[in-house]
Structure 1
Amino acid sequence: MERTTLFHIFAAVLFLYNLPACLSRTSPNITTDQSALLALKSSVTLPPDHILVNNWTTTTPSSVCDWVGVTCGKLHGRVAALDLSNMGIIGTIPPHLGNLSFLVLLNITNNGFHGDLPEELVNIRRLQYMDVQFNKFSGQIPQWFGGFPNLVYLNVGNNSFSDSIPQDFGNLQKLKVLNMKFNQFTGFIPRIIFNMSLLELLNLKGNSLSGNLPANMCNHLPNLKFLDLSLNELEGQFPPGLQECSNLQVLSLLHNQFMGHIPSEIGNLTMLEKLYLGFNSLEGEIPNEFTNLVNLEILDLQSANLTGCIPSFLFNMSSLQWIELPYNNFFGSLPMNICPRPLLRVLVMAGNKVSGNIPTEIGNCTALTVIDLHENNFTGTIPEEFATIGYIAPEYGHEGLVSTNCDIYSFGIMMMEIFTRKKPTDEMFTSDLSLKRWVSEALVNGVTQAIDSRLIRQEEEHYFAEASCVSSIFELALNCTEESPENRINIKDALALLQKIRLEFQAKLSEN
């Protein structure tokens, strides 16, 4: 669904890009916009070397349209976009910003803005894109948010807004993206939200919303592709009518209080790629209709109170890469042919009642990076084939030992993979040459031999600092993957060393 979000960002940018160059230098109305922007500058705190200090000023002959973060349009010669994202700005939004009456895009994400959003912003009737996420806004979400008739994208996530979601949001009938995650909203989800027929993304994750979901919630959401209601206090039967959201690609209901069976109709969601239903009070078995979910990549049903035999069809779903079913009441045995299509990367089934031998065919799961089968009723010995999974510590496969030393081993291998862009199961590695040995030899013969060429290049200004940084990371990774578990660094010290490496790298950059 991230693709849908990016689509709207790029659409807004292209809209502005295709407007001819700003012709507002002689427009008398541009002074209104200039005053609004200078009022914003006066209401924030900026360090002396901040780019806006000397750029947003009337002492230079440059036009407002040339200021950093500002884009103007030709037809009206006024400010059409204001993008101040990721600029480290701390302060409040002045009411004067509402005078930017030709504004189409407002993006102030990832700053330190706080307080309320002034009501005067509702005067920006042309606004289509508004992103204020990752700030410190607080208080009740303004009722007047429903007064943006052209709004297509709204993101107020990761702030401290509280109280209920206004009913006036139902007026935003052009809205395609509504992201309100990680705030402090309470009360019911307004049913009017489920009538936004153009909505493609709805993210209300990480609030304190309660109550039931309407039975016909999907009747008016034919375009919905992303629905995340996780980490709330929603309750009632498993949401009925979800199968009507036939275009859903991501569905997350994690950490709520839903109960009842997973309806077989969920098999109608054939576009689904990610399904998260864990930490609810569900019951019954995984429906056979899951086999219709031909695009499913991630299945998370952890601590969902489910029961029944481990469905063998899960391991035959060609696209499934992530299976997480811990702490349920599943029983039976794992299928012998557990990886007919070796795409499985994560298998977590701890805390169930699965029995029998662990199939030796698990060695065919060449993409497997995480496996957790503890607290079950397995018999026999751990297959040596575990050792062929390149991320897993050797003692796990040979001796059946499981500890935090196994975790740090996997962490070290993944660090090597990140900077080499090579998997430990890559075809270049044989019995004589492993990823570990390749990295170790590169530290002696020239570390850049192992670093992915797309990450650093010799012609870059900071090449030597970057190479030295990755070299230190490789040394740490090798320390994490010592053959003897007792010789490996612990995770606390590993993270401290990573922090030290980062600080040293930043210091070298500042010296240049």
Structure 2
Amino acid sequence: MLNLSEIFINYNQLSGKLHFLVALSKCRRLNTINISGNKFTGRLPPYMGNLSTMLEIFAAGNNMITGSIPSTVANLSNLLILSLRGNNLSGKIPTTIGAMDNLQGLYLSYNSLSGNIPEEISGLTKLVELYLGANKLTDPIPSSSGNLSQLQFMALSQNSLSSTIPTSLWHLQKLMVLDLSQNSLTGFLPADVTKLTAITAMDLSGNKLSGDIPISLGELNMMIYVNLSKNLFQGSIPDSLSKLLNIEKLDLSSNALSGVIPKALTNLTYLANLNLSFNRLYGQIPEGGVFSNITLKSLMGNDALCGLPRLGIAPCQNKTNHSRSKQQLLKVTLAAVMAILISASCLCMLVIITTRRKGNIPLPLGTNLLSYQLISYHELVRATRNFSDDNLLGSGSFCKVFKGQLDDESFIAVKVLNMQDESASKSFDTECRALQMARHRNLVKIISTCSNLDFKALILEYMPNGSLNDWLYSNDGRQLSFVQRVGIMLDVAMAIEYLHHQNIEAVLHCDLKPSNILLDKDMIAHISDFGISKLLVGHDNSIMLTSTPGTVGYMAPEFGSTGKASRASDIYSYGIVLLEIFTRKRPTDPMFVGELSLRRWVSQAFPHELSNVVDSSILQDGIEDASRPPENFSILNINLISIIELALLCSIVVPEERMTMNDVVVKLNKIKLNSIHSFENVGAFLMTPDIPNFYQQQPKGI
């Protein structure tokens, strides 16, 4: 008994008070207590703080426990999970809880806790999930909650929280789910919400928020669910919401929004549920997309809308009597456009003159004059210490890449072309054009160029965490967790989706591999090296190649048989990289000889023997004892199966049978969301806790 390490008596019909915790306090090796889903009554005894200092999980959710949370709970200094959801707890959240600096999951929803959320919560620096919904909490959300830099899930719904949403909350870069619904929050949303780079679901409904919906909301391209209903939002629906390409549900009902419905919303392929009811919208209801199956319930309360007779909404009337005013507007618009063009021409001349005086080349075609940075050859020499080997980041067939520090102390990467290679100049021009056409957060940004007869260089943003190749194969002890790997490949997928589907001319990368996937300071992935990229013009689906591009092992098999490159050939390369990042095996590994390839090796193990082929460090993720299988192995295995299945579908031999990158992004997005509970030591084998209602999952486990 004294050597007991885990106790699981959850989801039975056990009853009585919690006096047995006294006996458990003698078990000094106790790691886990799970008594959830029973009929235990009474109070949490103060002596629960005397339980084993090795205790990592205390789960007593879904019982009938009363009283307050004892302040002595803070004595459990190694606790990772504290779940008391679904009881009858009252009183305040103890301020001592801020001392539990190892806590990663705090689940107190569905109780009767009152008072404020203590400022001391900022001490929970490792907290990943915070669920305080359905209580009686009041006062503002503490500004210190912005210090929870590891937070991924925050659910504070169904309380009486007041005042404005703290500005610091909008800077949580790892936050995936934010649910502040059904409170009394007021004020405006900030104009810039783009720091929430990982956000997937946001529910702010049932508050008193006002002002305009931020245009920047459209930049949160991971978003699947947005609910801003039952607030006081004004102004028009931003056109930028049409950039939420993964959105499945958008609810803007019961506000004071005005103007027309943006036609671009019809382009949102996955948007299945749109509610715009009870606003002040007017004009033509768009046709196609989500509006093909929209119901009257989602549009009612906007009396000035027109153009949907099947729902009893009258057709729009042609207003020819406004033609004169339209002509006058056209004249004013043309005059304004001419003025802008003249100003732009003058600016171009000024920049060209300045450039020639400094000895630089003219600006590359299509460059944004406002963001282009003029950097001379002499400044590059100083920045790289005369291109010394100490500053060398890497080299390839066409180039060498150096780290540099400019006069303003900012860091850059300088890609110097090998002018002895006849292909270098063509590679330079190709990469310039591709990077100028394509602007996306997951593509390496081109800062400037420098060129003369003997020297050509691209100046790119510097990526301090190196390449994916470095992380997979360096011997310096660096390792990537499962969630990090999923996040990196989701970043890459979003970049490829942008290149393939969101440009007038689709860009084919043609050389996707780990060394071309770079990681910034926040471990966000950026695709680089567009030296052999190709453009698909108009409605072309493929392009005939005069030479075989890419790298052996990553090239699609149709290169050899047809000589054609297409979107599908990039997807094949992506599938191989996806296999590589989870197996930590190069496709050119010496073990792959004859008919055996990386893909075949993995497919032979799929799905029941994946543990024999995946990177062993994934299976040991967060586990100190390598001889003991992780408690969440079954959940881990489910996520691995989903990932490997996706990789195999991307790398099918027949190009037409491969997935599109649009579908890859959606699939990976969901895998990442589902895997959070399995791989950050949060909710591990206790299943998903308190997932908000919009995921339509039943609370289980803790």
TM-score (norm 1): 0.58
State the identity %. Answer: 27
Q: Give the 3-state SS of the residue equivalent to 2:281 in structure 1.
A: strand
- Structure 1 counterpart of 2:258: 331
> Out of 128, 133, 144, which is 1:205 matched to?
133
1:130 is aligned, of 58, 63, 67, to 58
Once residues 288 and 38 of structure 2 are traced to their aligned partners in structure 1, the CA distance between those partners, rounded to angstroms, is 51
Structure 1 position 177 matched with structure 2 position 102: no
Structure 1 equivalent of residue 214 of structure 2: 287
The CA distance in 1 between the partners of 2:244 and 2:292, in whole Å, is 14
Asked if structure 2 preserves the Cα contact closer than 8 Å seen for 1:114 and 1:137, the reply is yes
> If the length of structure 2 is used for normalisation, what is the TM-score?
0.42
* Residues 1-12 of structure 1 aligned to structure 2 (within 5 Å): none
Residue aligning to 2:36: 109
What is aligned with 2:199?
Answer: 272
1:240 aligns with 2:167: yes
For residues 115-194 of structure 1, the aligned pairs below 5 Å read 115-124=42-51, 125-194=53-122
Closer, same or farther in 2 for the Cα pair 1:270/1:324, shift >3 Å? same
DSSP 3-state at the match of 1:82: strand
Q: Does 1:89 align with 2:14?
A: yes
- Please report how far the alpha carbon of residue 224 of structure 1 lies from its aligned counterpart in structure 2 after TM superposition: 0.7
How big is the shift at 1:140? 1.1
1:356 corresponds to: 283
The count of residues paired between Structure 1 and Structure 2 equals 312
Quick one: distance in 2 between partners of 1:370 and 1:195?
49
Match of 1:382?
308
C-alpha separation in 1, matches of 2:125 and 2:209? 30
Distance 1:252 1:274 in 2: 8
The residue that corresponds to 1:227 in the other structure is: 154
1:370–1:174 CA distance, 2 compared to 1 (3 A): farther
Displacement, 1:399?
Answer: 12
Q: Distance in 2 between matches of 1:363 and 1:115?
A: 52
Matched, 1:298 2:193: no
2:205 and 2:314 map into 1 onto residues whose CA distance is 32
- Is contact 2:163–2:184 with CA below 8 Å preserved after alignment? yes
Matching residue of 1:373 = 299
Report the alpha carbon displacement of residue 335 of structure 1 after superposing the two structures with TM. Answer: 2.4
CA distance in 2, matches of 1:171, 1:363: 49
CA–CA distance in structure 2, aligned partners of residues 206 and 164 of structure 1: 14
Report Cα offsets for 1:86-141 as digits up to 9, x if no partner: 11222222232323332101111111111112333322221101111111100011
**1:267 match: secondary structure:** coil
Tell me, what secondary structure is at the counterpart of 1:265?
Answer: coil
The residue identity in structure 2 corresponding to 1:288 is I
Contact 2:219 2:244 in 1 (8 A): no
How many angstroms does 1:378 deviate by?
Answer: 4.2
Q: Does 1:311 align with 2:263?
A: no
Aligned to 1:23: none
Name the structure 1 match of 2:631: none
Deviation at 1:364, TM superposition (A): 7.0
- Distance in 2 (alpha carbons) for counterparts of 1:282 and 1:139: 34
Letter in 2 for 1:145: V
Deviation at 1:269, TM superposition (A): 0.6
The one-letter code of the counterpart of 1:80 is S
Q: Offset of 1:168 from its aligned partner? A: 1.4
Unpaired runs of at least 5, structure 1:
1-29, 34-77, 385-395, 401-512
Query: 1:216 & 1:137 partners in 2: Cα distance?
Result: 30
Shift in Å at residue 365 of structure 1? 5.9
Q: Assess if the C-alpha contact under 8 Å between 2:277 and 2:297 holds in 1.
A: no
Report the CA distance between 1:287 and its aligned residue: 0.9
- Find the aligned partners of 1:167 and 1:193 in 2 and give their Cα distance: 8
Give 1:370 shift.
10
Task: Give how far 1:174 is off.
Answer: 0.5
Q: Aligned-pair distance for 1:84?
A: 1.2
Q: Distance in 1 between matches of 2:18 and 2:38?
A: 12
Shift of 1:282: 1.4
Match of 1:14 in 2: none
The amino acid that maps onto 1:88 is: Q
Give the aligned partner of residue 342 of structure 1.
269
User: Retained in 2: the 8 A contact 1:262–1:282?
Assistant: yes
Q: Is residue 273–residue 290 contact of structure 2 (8 Å, CA) maintained in 1?
A: no
Q: Relative to structure 1, is the Cα distance of residues 154 and 282 closer, same or farther in structure 2, using a 3 angstrom cutoff?
A: same
Matched residues in 2 for 1:189 and 1:363: separation?
A: 40
Counterpart AA for 2:16: G
Deviation at 1:309, TM superposition (A): 0.9
Maintained 8 Å contact 1:357/1:378: no
Corresponding residue number in structure 2 for 1:482: none
CA contact (8 A) 1:320 1:344 kept: yes
Following TM superposition, by how much is the alpha carbon of 1:244 offset from its aligned partner in structure 2, in angstroms?
Answer: 2.6
Aligned residues of 1:347 and 1:372 also touching (Cα < 8 A)? yes
- CA deviation after TM superposition for structure 1 residue 83, in Å: 0.9
Q: Residues of 2 paired with 1:363 and 1:229: CA distance?
A: 31
SS at match of 1:268: coil
**What are the superposed Cα offsets for residues 335-377 of structure 1, whole Å, 9 maximum, x if unpaired?**
23432131012111111111123222146767x7996111112
Cα distance in 2, alignment partners of residues 168 and 81 from structure 1: 26
Whole-angstrom distance in 1 between the partners of 2:206 and 2:170:
21
Q: Residue 148 of structure 1 aligns to which amino acid in structure 2? A: L
354 and 89 in structure 1: CA distance in 2 versus 1, 3 angstrom threshold = same
RMSD: 2.3
The 1:254/1:166 distance shift into structure 2, 3 A limit, reads same
Say whether the 8 Å CA contact 1:79–1:100 is kept in structure 2: yes
The letter of the residue matching 2:42 is G
Letter aligned with residue 374 of structure 1: M
State the Cα deviation string for residues 14-50 of structure 1 (Å, max 9, x = none). Answer: xxxxxxxxxxxxxxxx3xx5xxxxxxxxxxxxxxxxx
Render the CA deviation track for 1:263-282: whole Å, top value 9, x for unaligned.
Answer: 12322111111111112211
Whole-Å Cα distance in 2 between the matches of residues 143 and 347 of structure 1?
A: 45
Say whether the 8 Å CA contact 1:97–1:121 is kept in structure 2. Answer: no
Cα separation, partners in 2 of 1:240 and 1:315, compared to 1, 3 Å: same
Does structure 2 conserve the Cα–Cα contact (< 8 Å) formed by 1:337 and 1:361?
A: no
- Return the structure number with greater relative CO, CA threshold 8 A, min gap 6: 2
